[in-house]
Amino acid sequence: MKKLYIVGFVAIAALGLLAVGLATTRALKVAAANREASPRSAKAARSAPQDDWSDSADDDAPKVIRFASNPEPMPPFLVNDVEGRVLSTAEFRGKVVIVNFWATWCPPCREEIPEMIDLANRYKDRLQIIGISEDDDATAEEVRDFAREEKINYPIVMGSSGVSAEYGGVPALPTSFLVNTDGRVVVKHVGLFPAQVYDREIRALLGQHVDAPIETFVDDGQIFLKNAANATELPGVSFKGLKPEQKRLALKRMNSENCTCGCKLTIAQCRIIESTCATSEKLAAQVLRQVGASRPASSAAVR
């Protein structure tokens, strides 16, 4: 009898730890999104992309639209949505596409849903929104019922279908990828953004008039983390004082050594996606010290 009690206690404890782990994962995803989108009250204006938008609450203030100059093709997929319909990326050519990663348990995601519904209504056949549900512990039927209750008017696909992996993983919710009419991913938004942000970007991609200048940037990890290997600078990392070959070595190490904060990313990727991470900041500084203390191969050979 004692053995049965012990086994039962261990089982209950294990289930408790599992529940805590799932809750922590959810909290981290939402917290990461909230760090990307600065804190705000329920009535406060939503945050906007760093360096792209004025701090003024006045919507008439000058703003900038930024798209990747080297956009990659939208990862192709052929999957069933939660209603059983077949979805193929081949159907979306000629439309602007928003690939929106969300979850039913994520408060910012739920707040964003009415805006996505409104965008889908306004742009109709010129815009395709696809919701990718990151509900690991909910069935497709449960997500379908939620979507029906919220009157979501765009298709929902379960993230477990492999779509999330195609986008390099999504560490924070909500996260949206914007795709141009040629089927290429031009920008990524992490966290909550005003509907005006998406509205301007959609109109710009459709060739319509926008009241903001359009600039471009090279995607070296801002959209697809795999491109972090192409970055020559990293947030919060100063390569000042290093010779060119030392800088290349430091970047190579930061792109091959993992951060130990639990993100499962390289040091470089963690710096790009979470510039406030103290762990990756410390590891990057350590790499810089070690590389800076070593002599370049060329100078070592001249003796």
**Parallel, antiparallel, or unpaired: how do β-strands 156-158 and 127-133 relate?**
parallel
Taking the C-alpha atoms of residue 218 and residue 70, their distance in angstroms, rounded to an integer, is 6
Residue 99 · residue 130 · CB < 8 Å: yes
Residue with tokens 């406030």, as numbered in its chain: 276
- Contact between 67 and 128 under an 8 Å Cβ cutoff? The reply is no
Say what the pLDDT of residue 64 is.
93
Task: Please provide residue 181's backbone torsions phi and psi, each rounded to the nearest 5 degrees.
Answer: -70, -10
pLDDT at res. 297: 55
Write phi, then psi, for 10 (nearest 5 degrees): -65, -40
pLDDT tens readout for residues 145-167 = 999 999 999 999 998 867 888 88
pTM of this prediction?
A: 0.74
251 class by beta-carbon count within 10 Å (0-12 exposed, 13-18 middle, 19+ buried): buried
In 3-state terms, what secondary structure has residue 249? helix
**Is 167:99 a contact under the CB 8 Å cutoff?**
yes
CATH topology of domain 65-217: Glutaredoxin (3.40.30)
Spatial separation of the C-alpha atoms in residues 35 and 93, rounded to whole Å = 33
Residue-level pLDDT at 225: 84
Phi-psi group of 274: left, alpha or beta (phi > 0 → left; psi -120 to 50 → alpha; rest → beta): beta
At 134 the pLDDT is 95
Confidence (pLDDT) at 265: 85
Structure tokens that stand for 15 in this block: 């289930």
For the chain, the domains span: 65-217, 231-301
Q: Which secondary structure element, helix H or strand E, spans residue 80, and what is its range?
A: strand 78-80
Site of tokens 């800088």: 247
Distance CA 176, CA 181 (A): 16
Q: Which residues of the chain register pLDDT less than 50?
A: 2-11, 13-15, 17-25, 27-29, 31-58, 60-62, 299-303
pLDDT at 296: 59
